[in-house]
Amino acid sequence: MFKSVFRRQPSPPKSFYTPEGQCVYVIGDIHGCLDPLNRLLEQIERRATHVHPSVSTTLVFVGDLIDRGPQSAQVVERLRLYTHPKIKTVFIMGNHEEVFLDVLNGSLRAMIRWFDWGGRDTARSYGVDNLGLLPIDPEQVLFRLQELVPKLHVDFLSEFQPYHSFGDYVVVHAGLRPRVSLEDQSNKDLRWIREKFLSYRGEFPRKVIHGHTIVDQAENRPNRIAVDTGVYIENGALTAAFLIEDKVEFLTEPS
């Protein structure tokens, strides 16, 4: 018997495509950092106007617009009012928006938890000035927060989507549970999952673009793309993945 001297060659990397005639930018977690957001939007607008004027442009935000950084209220207002003649916007619900809305709906328990995750910074950005009362009179802090957050902001955040699909991709905030169809994913997993998603090496229903978990630099892995580069931390940045046809690039703006 002769042993084969030939080895099976590895399969070429799978290609993923955007819809024909479309390019998409997916922006990672902003966390109340207005200046890098403004600079990144300027980059994207220049490219939409001058570099790719003949294709339609969609801008998808992975969620976590708020908390940790100093200007959450200003970020929400900037994006609530954002329009550009060549750009369509899509907003994904993050875990920080989910908890913020629970707080504004009257949950004291959620508020105490939220303040440990950067909610104090968001409250201050809305002008809440009685945070010293939190240990002794949390109801007053909650009342003040509900009083100062505009209904227009609540309505805007409440309309964020659980996920957004285009071409061979799906954008979610945190990730997907492996071996579960896209339609059967729970909101808890879409907004909170970490290890079971991050360690999975198999295929998902579509290639996943996500934030939620900070990486030193944006990552383009075989089954997922990570775009949360920790804009609110020291030496962090705000990142957008740019996708057109089968190409993926990254744009960054330091904090």
Q: What is the pLDDT of residues 88-97, one digit of tens each?
A: 999 999 999 9
Least confident interval from 9-13, 31-35, 125-129: 9-13
pLDDT tens string 68-113: 999 999 999 999 999 999 999 999 999 999 999 999 999 999 999 9
Q: Does residue 232 contact residue 255 with C-beta atoms inside 8 Å?
A: yes
Q: Is 144 helix (H, G, I), strand (E, B) or coil?
A: helix
| Mean pLDDT value across the chain | 94
What are the φ and ψ backbone dihedral angles of 38, each rounded to 5 degrees? -60, -40
- Report the predicted TM-score, pTM, of the whole model to 2 decimal places: 0.94
Question: Does the pLDDT value for residue 10 go beyond 70?
Answer: no
At residue 7, the pLDDT reads 55
First to last CA, the chain: 65
Q: Where are the domains of the chain?
A: 22-92+160-254
Q: What is the number of alpha carbons within 13 Å of residue 24 lying toward its C-beta?
A: 24
Q: Is the pLDDT of residue 168 over 90?
A: yes
Residue range 22-92+160-254 forms a domain whose CATH class is alpha beta
Cβ neighbours for 122, distance < 8 A, ≥ 6 positions apart: 32, 66, 67, 72, 73, 100
CA triplet 241, 245, 247: central angle to 5 degrees?
45
Half-sphere exposure of 69 (CA within 13 A, CB side): 28
Question: Minimal CA–CA distance to 124: which of 72, 179, 79?
Answer: 72
| The pLDDT of residue 11 | 55
Is residue 3 predicted with pLDDT exceeding 60?
Answer: no
Query: What are 11-20's pLDDT values in tens digits?
Result: 556 899 999 9
Torsion of Cα atoms, 116 then 120 then 121 then 124, to 10°: 180
pLDDT in tens, 212-233: 999 999 999 999 999 999 999 9
- What proportion of the chain, given as a percentage, has pLDDT over 70? 95
Assess whether pLDDT exceeds 80 at residue 36. Answer: yes
Mean pLDDT over residues 167-172, rounded?
98
pLDDT(120) > 50? yes
Band (6; pLDDT cuts 50, 70, 90): very low
* Predicted pLDDT at 1: 44
Per-residue pLDDT, 4? 45
Cα angle at 232 between 227 and 235, to 5 degrees? Answer: 85
The predicted structure's pLDDT at residue 49 = 86
